Structure 1
Amino acid sequence: MPADRLDFAADRTDRPDARQDAPARSPSERSESRGDPGLPTVADALEVASLQAGIPELLAGSVDVPVRWVHVSDSERVAALLDGGELLLTTGAGWPGDAAALGRLVDELSDAGLAGIVLELGTRFAVVPPALVAACRARDLALVTLDREVKFVAVTEEVHRRIIAGQVEALQERQRLHELFTGLSLRGAPVEIVVRETARALRAPVVLEDLAHEVVVADSFDLAEAELLADWAGRSRRLPPEWTRVPVAARGTRWGELIALPGPAHPAGPATVLEQAATALALSRLADGEDAWARLRAEGLIAALLSERYVTVADIEARLESSGFPVRGRTLYVAASTAAGTGAPGSAGSGSGPTGSAGDARVLSAVVGAERILLLSLPAGSRVPESVLESIGSGAVSDPASSAAELLAAIPVVRRLARQAEPGAVLRVAERPLARLAAELSGDHRLQEHSARLLAPLIRHDDATQGDLLRVLRAVVAHPGNRTAAAAASHLSRSVFYQRLTLIADLLGADLDDGETLSALHLALLAHGR
């Protein structure tokens, strides 16, 4: 009795987001577009009370497919009336019974982009024809049967209510995103803030990469950085279909891409979120200049290293590698300069190292307070180029390191040693074993107690008189056995210098000509810093 469920082509209702001129998508393609904003899936539609009353049973296909509309028909010609994305409710009253005809019908429905079939048993088919199940499985088209009669009009109302509610939610979310990213743009928010807010909106990892597939900024959200960024360039070039990516471009210039890894469904869709964020990033790039991303990448990495903003060494190694600073199989150095205004020889991803040979060396450089920190990645066995040493001015350079862990361990040593360098001098850690020891033990309370105990009389005197005894003592330990050089380094006349020495010896009750005493005082000064 199919008379109450006839098709009326003239009364067809436009489906939301239906595209009359778009080619139909296969079920597998539609399942990949699970993130269609605002649309329930076949699985969501099966949860409505009116369908649950019919005791639905899934026999074939995927239910992870968006439903754009509900269509009711018993005609075998229904495929010609579909736009794609419909959930078909039918008793099959007008359907053929032979296997070949059922196979052709399923092919037509799948080619038309149908989301799924809900077949009510009892009117045309007492049991589901095996040929129908086989055909739906072959095309990965959802086939659901109902053992009890249901009101199709009630099903239509409930599912359409969900569709419309989802569309409204998607519109509201688009407006919220527009306000969020417009506000960030107007405030001139840093790139890392835009990327962070994008990851928070999607509840998924988000990466900003340049045209060389090198990471500029990444927010791993709840994923380990090592897992997110491992072999990033290679994975990105393979264009994983589950990733969502949009270009960051403006005025005909493309700088890179903003990429989101899979996450929970978003009302507006991940592409919409990324497009809004990419617009904000493009405006920021226009305002900040051509080298903005290279500078940001270097500053972000070095800041993370200095402040230890990483969970594991593997995480920071992955960040370095994915940003175009190779670590594995390379010789690594860290240098620190107290001359913050000295020009940096290069930056990671610049395409040429300080030697001028493309790809031979990579340098990260950033100014942090009054320091400039440089990280160098050179071919295995290489020494620091003279051009880099000259650019440092006054500072220090580490021993060669062969791993990220060794590089991390060298940073505090080099920074501390750089503070001891005379103007124009570049100290090497290998030549300053005592400075290395002081840096490695800097967190040990016993070293701090040693420093405070030995230097306390001099510190009290300098604080009370605005004196220079600590400075004189540093000159003495820097030039042991050479009082003339020590006096020159103190910028004092010899007579005044010797007066200071006598006062220091009296306050400390120590013999400044004794080697062990000088070593103890030298270690105390290194632990005290400047």
Structure 2
Amino acid sequence: MSAIHTDRPDAVALPSVRDVLQVEAVRRGGPEVLVGGDALDVPVRWAHVSDSDQVADLLEGGELLLTTAAGWSGSDAALRAMANSLADAGVAGIVVELGNRFAVAPPALVAACRARGLALIALERVVKFVSVTEAVHRQIIAGQLEALQERQRLHELFTELSLRGAPADTVVRETARVLGAPVVLETPGREVVTADARDAVASDVLNGWAARSRADAELLAVPVQARGVRWGTLVALPGAAHPAGVMTVLETAATTLALARLADGPAAWAALPAREIVEAIAGGRHTGVDDVSARIEAAGLPLRGRMLSVLVAERVEAAAVAAVVGSLTSSDADVRALGAVFDGDGVIVVSSARELTPDELSRAAEGLPAGLAIGAPASSVAELLASMRPARLLAARLGAGEVRRVDDRPLTRLVTELGDDHRLQEHSERMLAPLIRYDEQYGGDLVRVLRAVVAHPGNRTAAAGASHLSRSVFYQRLALIADLLDADLDDGETLAALHLALLALAG
């Protein structure tokens, strides 16, 4: 990453030597670029006309020298010295009008300029230098005016974001929009708080982010800090130039982020990576496995050689999700987790070196007002994404305090994977319709009793207890269910079919 610095205000929107070559007054001279390349991209601060061989003493840097070279010596040594003195003075380039002092550009001058990376342009025809200077100075003044206008627009944009308390992800998104380039907000430990890839692929931006942030010299960065405390860094990837200067944009955005951090505290930043990852996994807001993988690793959750899992608790608050994450990570440093609320459900993503134990999961679920569903263990992000839907659907079937693994409930997993398949719904309706109609007509509890029966197959005493009915009343209900369904409730296949129908009904 490049050193943190600020653009020189009067060098932000200056025309380059290349731009000057497009000026009509220059084009009339038939310009021939003798030394170009990167040297043509040097900004021009002013146009200076002089034929003196001592002109370097009068320059301050950034000038484009327009000359007929009338006062120059013709010796190779003098020409090399002339080129070196101008390069040392920091001139933007040299425009030499041929025909007066030199019929052709001296090879010694061309070689010296090439060695110093100094732009050299020869004019084949006579031009009015005053016309060139007027045109160049108009460009410079217009560029500076545009820069001032852009800085004013930036001030208004980011002031508005500050006044309305915009969160960090909004500020980063607006910064990326203004620059037309990817922008990343990272912690001092180089974990990504939030990022906007703009028109790039997120995985291309975020893959190996920590290493890239340390080593990529093309990145531009400014600190996000206040009152002597540095909370992170705002980083822009290479993109087009901006009239106000890329660094000016970043500094203005960083100030907005610092003010928001002071107002909102650390919790606002801490919640962003979790929220964005959970939205990607649970809401499908991603462009593929590589995208999700890059985001997870950039947020500090390792993937290689790890066991991944997703936990879901239906209808819980953010505080409850934070408590589960804290419980999972507090006892084992090798367990990393993050979580957020998505569409009313608490979703936790876990990366660990081993499978979580039942005791760990039970402790994490203590105090939850809902059950905790654990998705199938995954060794890849693709498997993690596939485990999301079954875990959410299982969570919808759990009571408060229940902790269940999708893999421990094969029939439940089958139902969740089939999802809204119309054949499953038709099966449920066909088998349970008599009980549902009876319960609706008489305010009965037959569906609830049947649930207890399938939950405790072969144990009528346990089923009666789960129904909260006396044995005699329970057996009456059981006989009524068998009559209405015209089914043998002691038949294993019948019970399995009824269990499947009840699970589909719950979904």
Q: Is the counterpart of residue 306 in structure 1 residue 247 in structure 2?
A: no
Offset of 1:524 from its aligned partner?
3.1
Aligned match of 1:233: 210
| CA spacing shift, 1:370–1:309, aligned 2, 3 Å | closer
| CA spacing shift, 1:258–1:459, aligned 2, 3 Å | farther
Mapping of residues 106-125 of structure 1, within 5 Å: 106-125=83-102
Q: Is the counterpart of residue 52 in structure 1 residue 30 in structure 2?
A: no
| CA spacing shift, 1:40–1:506, aligned 2, 3 Å | farther
Aligned match of 1:209: 186
Task: Decide whether the 8 Å contact of 1:34 with 1:66 is kept in 2.
Answer: no
2:299 to 319, 323, 340: 323
| CA spacing shift, 1:436–1:214, aligned 2, 3 Å | same
Offset of 1:463 from its aligned partner?
6.1
1:267 to 243, 249, 256: 243
Offset of 1:215 from its aligned partner?
0.5
Aligned match of 2:228: 252
Q: Which has the higher contact order (CA 8 A, sep 6+)?
A: 2
Aligned match of 2:13: 38
Aligned match of 1:289: 265
1:392 to 361, 365, 372: 365
Distance 2:243 2:433 in 1: 65
Mapping of residues 112-511 of structure 1, within 5 Å: 112-238=89-215, 240-338=216-314, 340=316, 342=320, 344=322, 354-358=329-333, 360-379=334-353, 381-384=354-357, 386-393=359-366, 394-442=371-419, 444-456=421-433, 458=435, 468-494=445-471, 497-498=474-475, 500-501=477-478, 504-505=481-482, 508-511=485-488
Which one is further off, 462-471 or 288-297? 462-471
| CA spacing shift, 1:49–1:431, aligned 2, 3 Å | same
SS in structure 1 opposite 2:34? Answer: strand
SS in structure 2 opposite 1:38? Answer: coil
Task: Decide whether the 8 Å contact of 1:245 with 1:260 is kept in 2.
Answer: yes
| CA spacing shift, 1:513–1:262, aligned 2, 3 Å | same
Task: Decide whether the 8 Å contact of 1:209 with 1:257 is kept in 2.
Answer: yes
Normalised TM-score (structure 2): 0.90
Which one is further off, 60-69 or 505-514? 505-514
Which one is further off, 252-261 or 508-517? 508-517
| CA spacing shift, 1:147–1:498, aligned 2, 3 Å | farther
Offset of 1:507 from its aligned partner?
5.1
Offset of 1:274 from its aligned partner?
1.1
1:513 to 455, 466, 490: 490
Offset of 1:201 from its aligned partner?
0.6
SS in structure 2 opposite 1:95? Answer: coil
Aligned match of 1:3: none
User: Unpaired segments of 5 or more residues in structure 1?
Assistant: 1-31
Distance 2:114 2:393 in 1: 69
CA displacement 1:105-130 (0-9 Å, x = unmatched):
22221222211111111111110111
| CA spacing shift, 1:329–1:144, aligned 2, 3 Å | same
| CA spacing shift, 1:388–1:159, aligned 2, 3 Å | farther
Offset of 1:486 from its aligned partner?
3.2
Offset of 1:389 from its aligned partner?
3.6
Distance 1:145 1:33 in 2: 30
Offset of 1:243 from its aligned partner?
1.4
Distance 2:9 2:117 in 1: 15
Offset of 1:461 from its aligned partner?
5.7
Distance 1:209 1:371 in 2: 27
SS in structure 2 opposite 1:303? Answer: helix
Distance 2:288 2:8 in 1: 35
Task: Decide whether the 8 Å contact of 1:346 with 1:363 is kept in 2.
Answer: no
Aligned match of 2:503: 526
SS in structure 1 opposite 2:231? Answer: strand
Distance 1:185 1:493 in 2: 65
SS in structure 1 opposite 2:104? Answer: coil
Distance 1:36 1:134 in 2: 28
| CA spacing shift, 1:371–1:129, aligned 2, 3 Å | same
Aligned pair count? 493
Distance 1:519 1:481 in 2: 12
Distance 1:487 1:215 in 2: 54
Alignment RMSD (CA, Å) = 2.7
SS in structure 1 opposite 2:72? Answer: coil
User: Unpaired segments of 5 or more residues in structure 2?
Assistant: 1-6
CA displacement 1:226-246 (0-9 Å, x = unmatched):
1111100001011x2321111
| CA spacing shift, 1:438–1:49, aligned 2, 3 Å | same
CA displacement 1:33-81 (0-9 Å, x = unmatched):
9995221111111111111111112111321121111111111211122
Which one is further off, 488-497 or 360-369? 488-497
SS in structure 2 opposite 1:291? Answer: helix
Distance 1:35 1:433 in 2: 69
Distance 1:507 1:369 in 2: 39
Distance 1:34 1:454 in 2: 77
Give the structure with the higher percent helix. 2
Q: Percent identity?
A: 60
Task: Decide whether the 8 Å contact of 1:442 with 1:448 is kept in 2.
Answer: no
Offset of 1:370 from its aligned partner?
4.5
Aligned match of 2:4: none
| CA spacing shift, 1:75–1:404, aligned 2, 3 Å | same
Offset of 1:509 from its aligned partner?
4.5
Offset of 1:478 from its aligned partner?
2.1
Offset of 1:513 from its aligned partner?
3.4
Task: Decide whether the 8 Å contact of 2:321 with 2:347 is kept in 1.
Answer: no
SS in structure 2 opposite 1:193? Answer: helix
